[in-house]
């Protein structure tokens, strides 16, 4: 069965620090990849997605993610975090041709001002 691993469950950073959240998946075929964000008290929102093409994708609010096929990874990055980035981040995978999204366990990011 497909699975998604997010190794960092909790991350605490100071403002202006760089961020990288890891995401690895297990599936041998072609996949679509997503990062969702859930700000405190808000609903889940799409941050960015990768379907094909340039493996470096840019999302909203300065986030980007890089798909490395050989490593089955889709890590999320931001060069300089802000206090407003405090949220929970979920990586999700969908094998091409299927509708089901498989989510990772999420990473809680706390950015201290």
CA distance 92 to 36: 8
Q: How many Å apart are CA 80 and CA 63, to the nearest integer?
A: 9
Q: Taking CB under 8 A as the rule, does residue 63 contact another protein?
A: no
Does residue 68 contact residue 23 with C-beta atoms inside 8 Å? no
Binding mask 1-20 for another protein (x = CB under 8 A): --------------------
Closest Cα partner for 91 from 80, 79, 75? 75
Q: Is 100 in the site for another protein (CB under 8 A)?
A: yes
The reply to whether 90 sits near another protein by the rule CB under 8 A is yes
Give dist(CA 85, CA 94) in Å, integer.
25
Piece of 10-18, 59-67, 71-79, 103-111 that binds another protein (CB under 8 A):
103-111
Q: Of the candidates 21, 34, 20, which has an alpha carbon nearest to the alpha carbon of residue 93?
A: 34
Q: Is 99 in the site for another protein (CB under 8 A)?
A: yes
Query: In whole angstroms, how close is the CB of 81 to another protein at the nearest point?
Result: 22
| Residue in 12, 51, 68, 80 binding another protein, rule: CB under 8 A | 51
What does the binding site for another protein look like in residue numbers (CB under 8 A)?
A: 32, 34, 36, 42-46, 49, 51, 90, 99-101, 103-106
């Amino acid at each position: 069965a497909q699975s998604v691993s997010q190794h960092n469950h909790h991350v605490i950073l100071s403002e202006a620090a760089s961020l990288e959240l890891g995401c690895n998946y297990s599936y041998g075929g072609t996949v679509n990849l997503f990062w969702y964000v859930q700000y405190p008290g808000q609903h889940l929102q799409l941050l960015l997605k990768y379907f094909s093409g340039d493996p470096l994708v840019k999302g909203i609010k300065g986030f980007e993610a890089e798909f490395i096929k050989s490593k089955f990874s889709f890590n999320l990055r931001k060069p300089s975090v802000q206090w407003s980035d405090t949220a929970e981040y979920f990586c999700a995978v969908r094998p091409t041709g299927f509708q089901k999204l498989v989510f990772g366990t999420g990473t809680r990011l706390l950015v201290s001002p």
